[in-house]
A = this chain, B = another copy of it.
């Protein structure tokens, strides 16, 4: 496994932990459900209509609730998007972990991580489209940069392990991981914009490409 278990994102950061953060709400089962509905519906609408053109009223009307509901679960519209981004990252990493944990060989884990990444992208085109938007506005881009750093670190740990095991010739693990991220990222974008489904063939080629690039 690449990180400590659970959903921790950073074991240690710079100085303080999260700066602000009003006490996170205590939700009942019903509450968590509503929240999820909001998240999902918003993701869909944002991705098909654009973030700014979609108003908070559109969202609450869409699922047939009052406006106050929105602001019970999220402090602001921007925060909702940030939350979508955050949870998507969590979910993607969770998929990777689940798919990797079957193996011990770090190179094999690397492969499964790449596969999981591509598969996740293929099944979440709406999120990917939203991410494309998010790169174009600073507060969101900031969150994405952080996510990218985290994922590259995840990968780098694997690459380093493989180097220590002599499976990959020694080198700059971070650089290699960045390259892999570049490939999966771009492939992922294809699913966001294009209309081709994920064929096993494409998947295999992408994996081979990355692995070949890493092992030399």
Binding site for B on A (CB under 8 A): 49-53, 129-130, 132-133, 135-138, 186, 193
- Pair A136/B133 contact, Cβ less than 8 Å: yes
Chain B residues, Cβ within 8 Å of A130? 136
The 4 closest A-B pairs by CB, nearest first: A52-B52, A133-B136, A50-B137, A186-B186
Which residues of chain B are near A52, meaning CB under 8 Å? 52
Contact residue among B129, B138, B186 (Cβ-Cβ distance under 8 Å from A136)? B129
Rounded to whole angstroms, the CA-CA distance of A155 and B193 in the bound complex is: 21
CB neighbours of A132 from chain B (8 A): 132, 135-136
Copies of this chain in its oligomeric complex: 2
A135 lies within 8 A of B193 (CB) = yes
Decide: A50 and B186 in contact? CB cutoff 8 A: no
- Write the chain B residue with the least CB distance to A144: B193
Report the minimal beta-carbon distance from A23 to chain B, rounded to whole angstroms.
29
Q: Which residues of B contact A136 (CB under 8 A)?
A: 50-51, 129-130, 132-133, 136
User: What residues of chain B lie closer than 8 Å to A186, measured between beta carbons?
Assistant: 186
Enumerate chain B residues within 8 angstroms of A193, measured Cβ to Cβ: 135
Q: Which residues of B contact A129 (CB under 8 A)?
A: 136
Q: Can you list 18 A-B pairs with a CB-CB distance of less than 8 A?
A: A49-B137, A49-B138, A50-B136, A50-B137, A50-B138, A51-B136, A52-B52, A53-B137, A129-B136, A130-B136, A132-B132, A132-B135, A132-B136, A133-B133, A133-B136, A135-B193, A136-B136, A186-B186
Minimal beta-carbon separation of A149 from chain B (angstroms): 14
Report the minimum CB–CB distance from A131 to chain B (whole Å).
Answer: 9
Min CB distance, A177 to chain B, in Å? Answer: 16
A127, chain B: closest CB distance, angstroms: 12
Q: A49-B137, A132-B135, A186-B186 are in contact. List 15 more A-B contacts (CB 8 A).
A: A49-B138, A50-B136, A50-B137, A50-B138, A51-B136, A52-B52, A53-B137, A129-B136, A130-B136, A132-B132, A132-B136, A133-B133, A133-B136, A135-B193, A136-B136
